[in-house]
Amino acid sequence: MQHPRLAIVLVVAAVAAFAAFDTGIKFVTLAAPIAIVIWARYVLQFLISAFTLFPRHGAALFRTQQPRLQFARGVLLMLSTIFSVLSLGAMPVGEVTAIGMLTPLAITALASRTAAEPVDSGRWLLLVGGLLGALIVIRPDHAAFRAAMLLPLAMVGSNAAFQILTSRVVRTDSVATTHFYTGAVGAGLATLAVPFAWRILPAGTWLLVALLAVFVSVGHYLLAMAYARARPAVLTPFLYFQIVFATVAGWVVFSDVPGPWAWVGIALIAGCGLAGTRPSGRRIGTAVPGLARAAAGGES
């Protein structure tokens, strides 16, 4: 049953949770190694998924017809997470979030090459416009430019590829199985890396990391509930509220206020994204209901 008003409220709440997650990640990495933060985030997601999904699905939860694609998805999401965390360390939260909003347009471009999805000239124009907006935010010719500022574009690319693979694996594997392997692959990869960066952290830091895992898990749950109650084309415009939440959070926590050119770039990205809402919702969004997390690093 369609409940668009409730779905809109759920989407806004979800992107608020995602903005809080990104802001918290930026804050906690000031005091903790990135590898430990990423490891804790994936292990907690894996445990939450296992304890909530296994009682309902049993051994069927582990059955996949496409193990290679599931593993590839996990690797791509891990890369997206790493690029996201590094991006947040190099740029304000609101600007990283805005560039992340290019992901739905990037998915369209990738789908045109990998899934024979027709893309008209208008969509390509929007993609170019969004990329131009990202370059305005980054301003590669500016004196303050650092190569690390290109990381959000790498985040967008890896997240778009992750979403395309997601749309493929859910044709044969259940959503529960796919979600489980998302956490399992990430937790496994992160566990291999964490011994090289391990150190004892204060209890308060661990508590904050656990709280962030709750934020992102709640955000994903709210998003799933929203997409069960309304079409993606209805909900996509409200995903851009994440830019607002992230910008305000960055201002309150880090005193980061975007400059005039950053606002121009953010507006151009949002405008191109909104202009492409309905075509994206009809073609790609219906296949990949997790597009919202594209905004902040993706399912981070």
pLDDT per residue, tens digit, the chain (300 aa), is: 678 889 889 988 988 999 999 999 999 988 888 899 899 888 988 888 888 889 999 999 999 999 999 999 999 989 999 999 999 988 889 889 888 888 877 877 777 766 555 667 777 787 788 778 878 887 765 666 677 778 888 999 998 888 888 888 888 988 888 888 988 999 999 999 999 988 888 888 888 888 888 888 788 778 878 877 887 767 777 888 888 889 889 999 998 888 888 888 888 888 887 776 654 444 444 444 444 444 433 455
Please identify which residue in the block is written with the tokens 């661990």: 206
pLDDT on residue 83: 94
Q: Please report the pLDDT score of residue 277 as a whole number.
A: 60
Buried b (16+ CB within 10 A) or exposed e, 188-213: ebbeebbeeeeeebeeebeebbeebb
Gyration radius of the chain's alpha carbons? 18
CA 281 to each of CA 164, 183, 224, 230: distance values in angstroms, whole numbers, following the listed order: 14, 26, 15, 11
Amino acid at 227: Y
The H-assigned helical ranges of the chain are 4-28, 34-57, 67-90, 93-100, 103-114, 121-138, 151-169, 175-193, 203-227, 232-235, 241-254, 260-275, 277-280
d(CA 141, CA 60): 53
Residues 6+ away with beta carbon under 8 Å from 227: 7, 235, 289
Predicted pLDDT at 275: 78
Contact 94, 256 (CB under 8 A): yes
Query: What's the whole-model pTM score?
Result: 0.79
pLDDT of residue 278: 54
